[in-house]
Structure 1
Amino acid sequence: MTTKLEDKHAGNGDLVGEGQPYLGEKYQENGKPVANGRGEISVKQEANGKCGVPRKSLNMYSWQEIQKHNQKADQWLVINRKVYDVTAWANKHPGGSRVLNHYAGEDATDVFRAMHLDLDIVKLYLKPLLIGELAPEEPSQERNKSSQLVEDVRELRRTLEAMNMFKANPAFFFLHFVQVLILETLAWLIVWHFGSGWAVTIFISCLLTISQCQSSYLQHDLGHLSIFTKSKWNHLMQKLMMSHCKGLSTSWWNHRHFQHHVKTNIHPKDPDIDMGALFLLGELQPVKFGKMKIKYINYEKQHLYFYMVGLPLLMPVYFNLESMKVMCLQRYWEDIAWVSSFYIRHFITFGPFYGIFGTILLIYLVKFLESPWVTYVTQMSHIPMRMSKEENQDWLSAQVLTTCNVEQSIFNDWFTGHLNFQIEHHLFPTMPRHNYHKVAPLVRSLCAKHGLQYVNKPMLEAFGDIVRALKKSATLWMDAYYET
């Protein structure tokens, strides 16, 4: 059931009213907005004709009606009580069409604010997609969510914005970039001076492995936040770090990684927990495979396959093949050019010492050494945590239940690229990583207030929990597979 409302904020497809620097407009329990100076000023300006925007009539919708529009061919979502039809826009979305589809029929206010750094740009795209708003009697979020918890999370974000926690320190990222340049240059100088013997090759491979991992962290930062004032520079630098320095498609990584962030550990929306037939993760997939008598491999020993296959082959085989496949099928010509420059650079710098075949072996030796590092860092915070089907939880619960932290130390911060603070990173993806440790106490306090377990563990324990989680999943599969 829909009705019409004469909208005094016509054309206001943005998240916030004029003059509002952040999201989080408060609403009373009856759904009506709490009066504040900013909103009143906006209304008066438009009433005086200063905004120059024609008034129009907006539909009012109930949550029951909105939740029906959750299919690929019919996608509505709610942002700050405004209803948007994003069906036609989905394929143009820079973060990938699946990110929008994952939130179709739901309140996307908090995930929208979390994933977008520059609201002024995205508001321009939202305006033509506006089709209505929630009816006054409807709550600001779905009824299964705690309004107090949601408001507390938004209040925390406002506090962190006031503390400038979302402002990047260019010197921090510049020094990490210099670290990568020094390692790459040092590797070439060592080969040039000492030759290409086995001992030298192993040593420079270690240097290049460290460079590759630090490049991963830099491109990860660039994927989430704009360090530079112009987005084109951010785009260029991410291409440089991901495609030129690592030889992987930036678009492939962005679309995959953003899905992971918006629906962490949710089947089948998070691609990071889809290991195909090789590994069964969580509690649902093993039971499903077991009841269907599916046994592609001996899942009883999947924790051993993790050591033999997962650790050494994630980077040189799985990620590389997946990246190449997506680049070719989707015709990402720009990415193909950048990735080609990765191999050309290696042939120019190391080809004179190793030849073409030897240079290829060097490249994949480095990826082989990098793979365990990246696998442990990326998997230790998620595989041991909760995995489920879609439950449409609030933003805080969805992230805290599916991620965990690793204890802070100078080494842990450097080794993981500050991704030992996964909880804070998932709650605030656009926050510069050098600020995670500053906001962690506030997040922990908020979790305690609402009875959510904030998991923080030693690094070696986190490594071991990956294998223990795989063993647990294998046991669930065995019980379902062998039951009579």
Structure 2
Amino acid sequence: MSRQVRETGLLGRRLWYYWSWILAATVAFGLLWVAFGMLGNSWLQLIVAASLGVLATQFGFLGHDAAHRQIFTSARCNTWTARLLATLFVGMSHSWWRSKHNRHHGAPNQEGRDPDIGPGVIAFTRAAAARRTRGVPGWFTRHQGWLFFPLLTLEGINLHLASVRPLLTAGASRQQRTEATLVLLRLAAYVAVVVSLLPPGKAAAFLGLQAAVLGVCLGGSFAPNHKGMPIVPPEARIDFLRRQVLMSRNVRGGPLVDIAMGGLNYQIEHHLFPSMPRPNLRFVQPLVRDYCARHEVTYTEVALLESYRIVIDYLNHVGLRARTPFDCPLAGQLRG
């Protein structure tokens, strides 16, 4: 009985936390659109655009937590909450993101398995950088650390495009096509509202700034978690603890960082306990840190600005590293 009481209390606090955030974000969303209507043809609309970008990021974090079944005990309620938050408030397909994110959680930073370090504009591995040594691609790869954060301004648009791509992809499931249609309708309605009130120049600036802020806020929250941590070869076999801890990095900084990063600054704990509600991660952190120390598993935690410095340095030199992917703390621990 006492266990049931404790569990009921934890459930109540969890629901209170998440519903408070969802309600506050929804009210803020409505107020921003009221401000948009009142300001009319004004460059002050850019403040509304930037605020919408920040708010969409918070909705994205809430959708992420629901997708990990952190909010409700019912899987169905979590799924529909994640789907509605993603499609209506962020403009992103829940099914597309979930498939990609689940693969990342299963094999963080492992070549050929983690889509977050797969082929793309940025070369995240030595193998990818080795194919881009000459000409413009070579120059870009040698400077991609400095270009990474400016490129994040395009990540919001990339998320929208990836989410509607199932409409043009053969073999896409009915669910994927349905979500892609909803995202497309949401984006079309959003653009129509902005264009109906603002002249072309201001409308373009509004839409571009909102998407850029969304991309930077999301990318700035996800990048410190794994970039610059060990890259795992495709054939490597690692136990669950080391797979999740050694390839992840925590970011310290207090309540403001907790909010700005949506709890993803507790990345190690999140990877070990992906369904644990966000507000509980900070309480379990000391236990995880002590456990890793007892078992001689390196637990990495740095300040926010230091994490960005590490990401920039790693990306600028990813093709020049003389060490193998298992050099850094991973090698010694796996040999032991």
Question: Does TM, scored on the shorter chain, surpass 0.5?
Answer: yes
Q: Deviations over 1:34-90 (max 9, x none)?
A: xxxxxxxxxxxxxxxxxxxxxxxxxxxxxxxxxxxxxxxxxxxxxxxxxxxxxxxxx
Question: Which residue of structure 2 lines up, in the alignment, with residue 325 of structure 1?
Answer: 165
**Which SS does the other structure have where 2:276 is aligned?**
coil
Q: Quickly say closer, same or farther: Cα 1:453–1:241, change in 2 above 3 A.
A: same
1:187 deviates by 1.4
Q: Does 1:377 align with 2:217?
A: no
Report the Cα distance in structure 2 between the residues aligned to 1:289 and 1:417, rounded to whole angstroms.
35
Q: TM-score, normalised by structure 1?
A: 0.59
Please tell me the residue identity of whatever aligns with 2:279: H
Please tell me the residue identity of whatever aligns with 2:142: E
Q: Quickly say closer, same or farther: Cα 1:448–1:305, change in 2 above 3 A.
A: same
Contact in 2 for aligned 1:265/1:388 (Cα 8 Å): yes
Question: Which residue of structure 2 lines up, in the alignment, with residue 435 of structure 1?
Answer: 280
Contact in 2 for aligned 1:264/1:399 (Cα 8 Å): yes
Report the Cα distance in structure 2 between the residues aligned to 1:461 and 1:419, rounded to whole angstroms.
16
Contact in 2 for aligned 1:264/1:270 (Cα 8 Å): yes
Contact in 2 for aligned 1:240/1:338 (Cα 8 Å): no
Please tell me the residue identity of whatever aligns with 2:146: L
Gaps of 5+ in 2: 1-5, 323-336
Question: Which residue of structure 2 lines up, in the alignment, with residue 280 of structure 1?
Answer: 123
Q: Does 1:217 align with 2:61?
A: yes
Q: Does 1:456 align with 2:262?
A: no
Please tell me the residue identity of whatever aligns with 1:338: L
Question: Which residue of structure 2 lines up, in the alignment, with residue 194 of structure 1?
Answer: 39
**Which SS does the other structure have where 1:406 is aligned?**
strand
Question: Which residue of structure 2 lines up, in the alignment, with residue 83 of structure 1?
Answer: none
Question: Which residue of structure 2 lines up, in the alignment, with residue 263 of structure 1?
Answer: 107
Q: Quickly say closer, same or farther: Cα 1:297–1:320, change in 2 above 3 A.
A: farther
Q: Quickly say closer, same or farther: Cα 1:295–1:351, change in 2 above 3 A.
A: closer
Name the one with the larger helix percent: 2
Question: Which residue of structure 1 lines up, in the alignment, with residue 254 of structure 2?
Answer: 409
1:239 deviates by 1.5
Q: Quickly say closer, same or farther: Cα 1:233–1:469, change in 2 above 3 A.
A: same
Question: Which residue of structure 1 lines up, in the alignment, with residue 148 of structure 2?
Answer: 306
Please tell me the residue identity of whatever aligns with 1:303: G
Q: TM-score, normalised by structure 2?
A: 0.83
Name the one with the larger strand percent: 1
Q: Quickly say closer, same or farther: Cα 1:193–1:205, change in 2 above 3 A.
A: same
Contact in 1 for aligned 2:257/2:265 (Cα 8 Å): yes
**Which SS does the other structure have where 1:475 is aligned?**
coil
Report the Cα distance in structure 2 between the residues aligned to 1:164 and 1:384, rounded to whole angstroms.
40
**Which SS does the other structure have where 2:131 is aligned?**
helix
Please tell me the residue identity of whatever aligns with 2:290: S
Contact in 1 for aligned 2:40/2:198 (Cα 8 Å): no
Select the structure of larger CA radius of gyration.
1
Report the Cα distance in structure 1 between the residues aligned to 2:87 and 2:51, rounded to whole angstroms.
19
Contact in 2 for aligned 1:425/1:436 (Cα 8 Å): yes
Contact in 1 for aligned 2:126/2:319 (Cα 8 Å): no
| Bigger RCO of structures 1 and 2 (CA < 8 A, at least 6 apart) | 2
**Which SS does the other structure have where 1:296 is aligned?**
helix
Please tell me the residue identity of whatever aligns with 1:440: Q
Aligned residue runs from structure 1 range 1-400, under 5 A: 167=11, 169-198=14-43, 200-225=44-69, 227-276=71-120, 278-286=121-129, 288-289=130-131, 296-298=137-139, 299-308=141-150, 310-316=151-157, 318-329=158-169, 330-331=172-173, 332-346=176-190, 350=194, 352-354=196-198, 362-390=206-234, 391-400=236-245
Report the Cα distance in structure 1 between the residues aligned to 2:317 and 2:245, rounded to whole angstroms.
21
1:191 deviates by 2.2
Q: Quickly say closer, same or farther: Cα 1:344–1:312, change in 2 above 3 A.
A: closer
Question: Which residue of structure 2 lines up, in the alignment, with residue 33 of structure 1?
Answer: none
Contact in 1 for aligned 2:46/2:205 (Cα 8 Å): no
1:355 deviates by 6.9
Q: Quickly say closer, same or farther: Cα 1:163–1:236, change in 2 above 3 A.
A: closer
**Which SS does the other structure have where 2:54 is aligned?**
helix
Report the Cα distance in structure 2 between the residues aligned to 1:433 and 1:444, rounded to whole angstroms.
17
1:193 deviates by 2.1
Q: Quickly say closer, same or farther: Cα 1:360–1:294, change in 2 above 3 A.
A: closer
CA RMSD of aligned residues (A): 2.8
Contact in 1 for aligned 2:57/2:90 (Cα 8 Å): no
Q: Quickly say closer, same or farther: Cα 1:346–1:256, change in 2 above 3 A.
A: same
Q: Quickly say closer, same or farther: Cα 1:413–1:165, change in 2 above 3 A.
A: farther
Report the Cα distance in structure 2 between the residues aligned to 1:360 and 1:272, rounded to whole angstroms.
30
Aligned length: 311
% identical aligned pairs? 24
Report the Cα distance in structure 2 between the residues aligned to 1:323 and 1:475, rounded to whole angstroms.
34
Q: Quickly say closer, same or farther: Cα 1:320–1:345, change in 2 above 3 A.
A: closer
Please tell me the residue identity of whatever aligns with 2:122: F
